Amino acid sequence: MITLEGIEGAGKSTQRETLATTLTELGIPFLQTREPGGSPIAERIRALLLDPAHKGLCAQAELLLVFAARAEHLDQTMRPALEAGTWVLSDRFTDASFAYQGGGRGIPAESITGLESLVQGELRPDLTFLFDLPAEIGLKRAKARADLDRFEAETLEFFERARQVYLHRAKQEPGRFRVLDATLDVEQVGRHVRQALIDFVTRMQSSGQ
């Protein structure tokens, strides 16, 4: 399982395409998906979560909805793919819950860890790309696009806290994370992403996985 993470405006979607193209070139069967979402019911929960009209949604309800969507996504999409030997490339996963609901909303990490075990069991991503940039730059980029969703309308401080949690997690798990400087130009980031993926695949293949 490969995941992409980062605050708003980090250029994740463009780099997801780079990863998809590289996996295709390498002949690796994969499924591209996203969170929240990735299955019919999870996509409906996504709509609830992102709707700017739901401004007053309380933090605990938000956290539980994110994990409800994840449970569905895992059951309907991710686990069947992984069990069939298909790689899964997910635009966000549980690191986003630690960053946004933990860092952003201030929910204690232990509560999130509890839900993570409940919903995922032992399942964790094998490789995570973190597209890192200062919240100020990310928000400026996100705000240049039309129609802000409920998260994009959050404050600079919210995203700075989320960024710090991402960086902290990356530091704690250097084997899983590849941190990329998302302030660099898109082509440059793309080259780093491509190389990191090729290195990972080579390592997996030489260890027989």
The residue ranges that bind ligand TMP (CB under 6 A) are 8, 35-36, 66, 91-92, 96-97, 100-101, 151
The response to whether 9 counts as a known ligand-binding position is yes
Is 133 within 8 Å of 182 (Cβ atoms)?
A: yes
The response to whether 37 counts as a known ligand-binding position is no
* Whether residue 125 has a cis bond before it, omega within 30° of 0: no
- Least Å from the CB of residue 120 to ligand TMP: 12
The response to whether 12 counts as a known ligand-binding position is yes
The response to whether 72 counts as a known ligand-binding position is no
Nearer to ligand TMP (CB atom), residue 164 or residue 205 = 164
Nearer to ligand TMP (CB atom), residue 23 or residue 115 = 115
Positive or negative, the Cα torsion across 176, 167, 198, 123?
Answer: positive
Q: In the chain, at which residue ranges do the beta strands (DSSP E only) sit? A: 2-5, 30-34, 87-91, 127-132, 177-181
Nearer to ligand TMP (CB atom), residue 22 or residue 35 = 35
- Least Å from the CB of residue 46 to ligand TMP: 7
- Least Å from the CB of residue 36 to ligand TMP: 5
Rounded CA separation 180/209 (Å)? 25
Which element (helix H / strand E) includes 25? helix 12-25
Coil, strand or helix at 49: helix
The response to whether 103 counts as a known ligand-binding position is no
- Least Å from the CB of residue 198 to ligand TMP: 25
In DSSP terms, 2 is beta-bridged to 89, 127
The response to whether 138 counts as a known ligand-binding position is no
- Least Å from the CB of residue 5 to ligand TMP: 9
Q: Report the candidate in 4, 69, 1 with the shortest Cα–Cα distance to residue 39.
A: 69
Nearer to ligand TMP (CB atom), residue 103 or residue 190 = 103
Binding site residue list for ATP:
6-13
Binding site residue list:
6-13
